[in-house]
Amino acid sequence: MKLVRFLVKLRSETVTVELKNGTVAHGTVVGVDHSMNIHLKGVKLELRGRNPTKLQALSIRGSTVRYVLLPDSLALDSLLVDDGLRPRRTTNPDRAPGVASGRIGRGRGRGRGRGGGRGRGRR
Protein backbone atom coordinates (compact mmCIF):
# COMPACT_ATOMS: atom_id res chain seq x y z
CA MET A 1 0.00 0.00 0.00
CA LYS A 2 1.30 3.44 -0.89
CA LEU A 3 1.93 5.88 1.94
CA VAL A 4 -0.38 8.47 0.40
CA ARG A 5 -3.30 6.01 0.33
CA PHE A 6 -2.69 5.28 4.02
CA LEU A 7 -2.60 8.97 4.91
CA VAL A 8 -5.87 9.60 3.06
CA LYS A 9 -7.53 7.15 5.48
CA LEU A 10 -6.44 9.28 8.48
CA ARG A 11 -9.28 11.77 8.02
CA SER A 12 -10.51 13.19 11.38
CA GLU A 13 -7.54 11.70 13.29
CA THR A 14 -5.31 13.92 15.42
CA VAL A 15 -1.70 13.66 14.25
CA THR A 16 1.63 15.40 14.68
CA VAL A 17 3.48 16.37 11.50
CA GLU A 18 7.17 17.24 11.61
CA LEU A 19 8.54 19.19 8.67
CA LYS A 20 12.03 19.08 7.18
CA ASN A 21 12.84 22.53 8.60
CA GLY A 22 12.11 21.37 12.17
CA THR A 23 8.63 22.88 12.48
CA VAL A 24 6.07 20.70 14.27
CA ALA A 25 2.32 20.91 13.61
CA HIS A 26 -0.22 19.12 15.82
CA GLY A 27 -3.82 19.04 14.58
CA THR A 28 -6.77 17.11 13.18
CA VAL A 29 -6.55 15.83 9.60
CA VAL A 30 -9.17 17.32 7.30
CA GLY A 31 -7.81 15.65 4.20
CA VAL A 32 -4.78 14.43 2.29
CA ASP A 33 -4.46 14.68 -1.48
CA HIS A 34 -2.45 12.56 -3.92
CA SER A 35 0.58 14.87 -3.70
CA MET A 36 0.65 14.10 0.04
CA ASN A 37 -0.42 17.66 0.89
CA ILE A 38 -1.90 17.47 4.37
CA HIS A 39 -4.76 19.76 5.45
CA LEU A 40 -5.20 20.18 9.23
CA LYS A 41 -7.64 22.05 11.47
CA GLY A 42 -7.28 23.15 15.09
CA VAL A 43 -3.50 23.33 14.70
CA LYS A 44 -0.83 24.04 17.26
CA LEU A 45 2.24 25.11 15.26
CA GLU A 46 5.67 25.06 16.89
CA LEU A 47 8.31 26.85 14.85
CA ARG A 48 11.87 26.05 15.82
CA GLY A 49 13.10 28.57 18.42
CA ARG A 50 9.73 30.37 18.78
CA ASN A 51 6.63 30.16 20.94
CA PRO A 52 3.82 27.83 19.79
CA THR A 53 1.05 29.40 17.71
CA LYS A 54 -2.55 28.27 17.40
CA LEU A 55 -4.14 28.27 13.93
CA GLN A 56 -7.64 27.45 12.75
CA ALA A 57 -6.42 25.66 9.63
CA LEU A 58 -3.10 24.77 8.00
CA SER A 59 -2.13 23.17 4.70
CA ILE A 60 1.25 21.48 4.51
CA ARG A 61 2.97 20.79 1.20
CA GLY A 62 3.70 17.07 0.90
CA SER A 63 7.35 17.46 -0.13
CA THR A 64 8.16 19.30 3.14
CA VAL A 65 6.94 16.50 5.44
CA ARG A 66 9.59 14.57 7.37
CA TYR A 67 7.39 12.53 9.74
CA VAL A 68 3.74 11.95 10.47
CA LEU A 69 3.38 10.80 14.08
CA LEU A 70 0.22 8.80 14.69
CA PRO A 71 -1.70 8.55 17.98
CA ASP A 72 -1.21 5.37 20.05
CA SER A 73 -4.97 4.73 20.05
CA LEU A 74 -5.09 4.38 16.25
CA ALA A 75 -6.25 0.96 14.98
CA LEU A 76 -3.51 0.31 12.42
CA ASP A 77 -4.79 -3.16 11.53
CA SER A 78 -7.97 -1.81 9.99
CA LEU A 79 -6.22 1.11 8.24
CA LEU A 80 -3.47 -1.01 6.69
CA VAL A 81 -5.91 -3.34 4.92
CA ASP A 82 -5.28 -2.74 1.24
CA ASP A 83 -8.38 -2.00 -0.80
CA GLY A 84 -6.70 -3.72 -3.72
CA LEU A 85 -6.36 -2.57 -7.26
CA ARG A 86 -9.46 -1.23 -8.89
CA PRO A 87 -10.40 -3.06 -12.07
CA ARG A 88 -9.54 -1.13 -15.22
CA ARG A 89 -12.39 0.31 -17.21
CA THR A 90 -12.42 -0.64 -20.84
CA THR A 91 -14.26 1.44 -23.38
CA ASN A 92 -15.22 -1.49 -25.59
CA PRO A 93 -14.66 -5.02 -24.28
CA ASP A 94 -15.34 -6.54 -27.73
CA ARG A 95 -12.33 -4.81 -29.29
CA ALA A 96 -9.08 -6.77 -29.47
CA PRO A 97 -6.29 -5.44 -27.24
CA GLY A 98 -3.68 -3.36 -29.03
CA VAL A 99 -5.98 -2.36 -31.87
CA ALA A 100 -6.24 1.40 -32.28
CA SER A 101 -9.53 3.05 -32.92
CA GLY A 102 -10.23 5.92 -35.29
CA ARG A 103 -7.89 7.27 -37.91
CA ILE A 104 -4.23 6.32 -37.69
CA GLY A 105 -1.14 8.30 -38.62
CA ARG A 106 -2.66 11.67 -39.47
CA GLY A 107 0.15 13.67 -37.80
CA ARG A 108 1.05 17.18 -39.00
CA GLY A 109 2.40 16.21 -42.44
CA ARG A 110 1.13 17.64 -45.70
CA GLY A 111 -2.53 17.85 -44.85
CA ARG A 112 -4.91 18.18 -47.77
CA GLY A 113 -8.05 19.15 -45.90
CA ARG A 114 -9.59 22.61 -45.63
CA GLY A 115 -6.98 25.31 -46.00
CA GLY A 116 -4.76 23.42 -48.45
CA GLY A 117 -2.14 22.04 -46.07
CA ARG A 118 1.35 23.31 -45.22
CA GLY A 119 2.90 23.53 -48.68
CA ARG A 120 4.81 26.16 -50.74
CA GLY A 121 2.04 28.69 -51.03
CA ARG A 122 -0.78 28.50 -53.58
CA ARG A 123 -0.25 26.89 -56.99
Confidence band (pLDDT; 50, 70, 90) for 110? low
Query: Is 38 exposed, middle or buried, given 0-12, 13-18 or 19+ CB atoms closer than 10 A?
Result: buried
Per DSSP, what are the bridge partners of residue 26? 16, 44
pLDDT number for residue 115: 67
Answer whether residue 43 is part of any domain: yes
Report the number of distinct structural domains present in the chain.
Answer: 1
Q: What mean pLDDT comes out for the span 93-105?
A: 62
Report d(CA 13, CA 88) in Å as an integer: 31
Confidence band (pLDDT; 50, 70, 90) for 84? low
pLDDT number for residue 3: 78
Q: How far is CA 25 from CA 12, 30, 75, in A?
A: 15, 14, 22
Q: pLDDT tens-digit profile of 17-37?
A: 999 999 999 999 999 998 999
Q: pLDDT tens-digit profile of 38-51?
A: 999 999 999 988 99
pTM, whole model, 2 decimals? 0.63
CATH of the domain at 44: 2.30.30.100
Structural domain containing residue 63: 2-70
Answer whether residue 83 is part of any domain: no
